[in-house]
Amino acid sequence: MTTTKKATYTRMDQSTPEDWASDDSYREQNLKHLPDSVMAMLKQLREKATGESMNGYDHSLQTATRAYDDGADDETIFIALLHDIGQVVSEENHSEVAAAILRPYISDRSHWIVQHHGIFQGYYFWHHIGKDRNARDAYRDNPYFDACVQWCDKYDQRAFDPNYPTKPLEFFEPIVRRVFGREPWPT
């Protein structure tokens, strides 16, 4: 194991260029562990209480399987697998949390889909719980509106079938590592 020099500052306004040079090596080490950390978050969805027909982990695997079976590209499969990881820390804004985590590694289109999928999913069930199922219409002028409608319809809202032949996480791991391994998108 390589020992890297730690920064010496106790306040950021007293840091030096050398302190920040050492920070780069830690950043690189941490980025190597990012796929494992995010997949661990996904696994935590097994334990989350839900009234749905399957837990969030199985739902996520099935969403990714549906995207894969449809011939989707790696990035679409990646967001299908990880779109709900924000539920580990937040129910109310899980879409925004997941989108923020994935943002550096996905396109603007995919980021927008993940960030808004919760509202777009509401179309399929919010009328049953006294909410406006058409809330997504507020985003109709966005260039990614139709892409989010299609993504939710083809993959997310259909992925609650316990009889659908769903691939295991190990199948998707190379895709996760490929997407996290590419250069971050400019923000």
Question: Which residues neighbour 40 within 8 Å (Cβ) at sequence distance 6 or greater?
Answer: none
CB hemisphere CA count around 2 (13 angstroms): 7
Helix-strand-coil split of the chain, %, nearest 5: 65, 0, 35
Question: Which residues neighbour 27 within 8 Å (Cβ) at sequence distance 6 or greater?
Answer: none
- Tokens (6 digits) for 24: 């780069």
Q: Looking at the structure, give the CATH architecture of the domain made up of residues 37-181.
A: Orthogonal Bundle (1.10)
Whether residue 147 is predicted with pLDDT greater than 60 in this model: the reply is yes
Per-residue model confidence (pLDDT) at position 85: 97
Mean pLDDT of the chain: 90
Per-residue model confidence (pLDDT) at position 27: 67
Per-residue model confidence (pLDDT) at position 187: 58
Please tell me the least confidently modeled range out of 45-54, 65-74, 84-93, 108-117: 45-54
Whether residue 168 is predicted with pLDDT greater than 90 in this model: the reply is yes
More confident residue, 91 or 177: 177
Per-residue model confidence (pLDDT) at position 1: 46
Per-residue model confidence (pLDDT) at position 59: 95
Please tell me the least confidently modeled range out of 10-24, 121-135, 143-157, 168-182: 10-24
pLDDT (tens digit, 9 = 90+) per residue, 93-139?
999 999 999 999 999 999 999 999 999 999 999 999 999 999 999 99
